[in-house]
Amino acid sequence: MCGIVGYIGQKEANGILIDGLKRMEYRGYDSAGIAVLDKGSIFSLKRVGKVMELAKAQTKFHHHGPIGIGHTRWATHGNVSERNAHPHLSDGNRFAVVHNGIIENYLQIKAFLTEKNYRFTSDTDTETLANLIDYHYQKAPYLSFAEIVRKTLLHIEGTYGIAVMSKIFADEIVVARKSSPLLIGVGEGENIIASDAAAVARYTRCVVYLNDGEIASVRSDNFSITTLHENAVDVIRHELDWEIRDMDLEGYPHYMLKEIVEQPFVIENAMRGRFTADGCSAKFGGISLTPQELRTVDRLLFCACGSAYHACLAGKYLIEKYARIPVDVEYASEFRYRNAPLQRNTLVFVVSQSGETIDTLAALHEAKRRGYTVLGITNVVGSTIARATDAGIYQHAGLEMGVASTKAFASQITILSMLALLLARIHDMDAIAGLQYVQALKSLPAITNEILKLSDPIRMIAEKYYECERFLFLGRQAMYPIALEGALKLKEIAYVHAEAFPTAEMKHGPIALISDETVCLFIATQNELLDKTMNNIQEVKARGGKVIAIVNNDCIAWEVFCDEVLTIPEVHPGINPIVSVIPLQFFAYYIGILRGCDVDRPRNLAKSVTVE
């Protein structure tokens, strides 16, 4: 959620900190700040709102130095204000801290420190960290910086990713993590600390990811990592695998539009090198299980949140249809807290674009605690989920800057469709059917390119309905998860109330919502159920509701009974969910633009949810 950046080297830190914060704006935040060490003292600058406001103020901030830390805050404790923004300085200004996560026992710590005459100037949990670090320094000033921070963290309950600087230890930044991502960007004569690789990619391609329970001492020319219990750590360096241009708009007005348009390339990347030589099945080098081991799997469990959950639901329909294996899909946030019975031969997948979603990580750990093999599907090489799972599949979607997922969602469904094919071929699907499935998948980039040409017709539909306040999205079978995703996108991007239901469920309650102020968007791209869907459409029209239909044939009935009809190509059922979601992404985008919303950074949302 929040963003951390730190710099230590030979250059002036201010500009690098501001640039790093700008690169992490897509994560979601409400205020921003920096602190730099200048002539033996720490000076901080904070602003509510966008990083641009901080950048403007920085031009009149006359403190500079080669070491500093910065932060974008998504409020948890205390309102959105400059005094609650990070960095937080200790009483006496000896230490400055930036922090992602939540300190659950901060009230007890604050009461203890108040008795020791420490003053507090914010409502945050983070300020207690700064003062507790100072307390341990006062008790034992002879200890190293890392040792002081280590002793502090042993008293902390909760989650954290922190970076700490000090005027006492002027050539060092100490960082540590527990359930909140942190990495070190390794440079020449400089090192950059961040919670997101986007903040360091302009300066270095080499990064080192910290694991939970690790603490690092970072200087300009070296760094060392140990565990909180002082055990040595083998440092593993990773090379960033996405392009710098992923962070640039390249002429598009918004990242969301750019990333919708990138989907043909993203889908192609997800499939590249992942078909067998005979062209009849899929293969994944990251799945460590043999075909014989996969054949013994009796059930699949997918755990995910948000858009990734919807992708897994679409995958459930495809896997059960083609591989005939039962599939459960759980909200990761629910699975971690309920004692769900699992069959012995269950294979667990956790799916997260960022690889850092805290609820999905917790579900991963719970499944592993129960002794199950857990595979991951994620977009970020070196992410916590990528490192914590037994094996997995990378999406190769590139950096997704828009907060609301588009191209990463399409990538996830593509991979899950290929997984359905792989499992089906292991079980009952014959070679001819496999060949047809593979050919359909390979046709996806060209088909999605054709659908992108519907941008203008979708915009014209959006212009008619953008002032409406109630939308229902309806789809059958594998189109139901796509309806859920369409409704979610409209909520995220345009702040419009939208719900989704299986089409036939409308008559079991939601039909009470139908009036002349209701817009119903039907995803009617499954020919075997068109007669049933047409009945539901007429039920809406009989009650005065407006109907937008996404279809894949030119039946005259659509024009008669629907207010708007959008025709997309008829495709193999295995790729239908991928094809059908793109018009819904465009629809949400244009509704959001017409309503004056910030479609790249929707209010209250964060790209990577790393707190409960």
First to last CA, the chain: 11
Q: What is the dihedral of CA 24, 29, 31, 36, to 10 degrees?
A: -30
Distance CA 234, CA 219 (A): 18
Burial of 542 (C-beta count, 10 Å sphere; 0-12/13-18/19+): exposed
Provide the residue type at 284 as one letter. Answer: F
**Residues 473, 502: contact at Cβ < 8 Å?**
no
What radius of gyration, in Å, describes the C-alpha atoms of the chain?
26
Residues paired with residue 99 on neighbouring β-strands, in sequence order: 162
Tokens coding 120:
């507090």
Pairing of strands 31-38, 41-48: antiparallel
Q: Annotate 22-79 with DSSP letters as a single string.
A: HHTGGG--SEEEEEEEETTEEEEEEEES-HHHHHHHHTT-----SEEEEEEE--SSS-
The distance from CA 231 to its chain's CA centroid, rounded to whole angstroms, is 32
Phi-psi region of 324 (alpha: psi -120 to 50; beta: other; left: phi over 0): left
Tokens coding 102:
């939540």
Tokens coding 221:
């020319």
Angle at 8 between CA 7 and CA 9, to 5 degrees: 120
Contacts of 127 (CB under 8 A, 6+ apart): 88, 120, 121
Tokens coding 314:
């679409």
CA distances from 418 to 252, 440, 479 (A): 31, 11, 17
Helix axes 576-594, 407-426, angle to 10 degrees: 170
Distance CA 378, CA 332 (A): 15
> Could you list the active site residues?
2, 607
Phi-psi region of 528 (alpha: psi -120 to 50; beta: other; left: phi over 0): alpha
Residues paired with residue 558 on neighbouring β-strands, in sequence order: none
Distance CA 197, CA 5 (A): 10
Helices (H) and strands (E) in the chain, counts: 19, 24
Distance CA 260, CA 257 (A): 5
DSSP 8-state symbol, 103: B
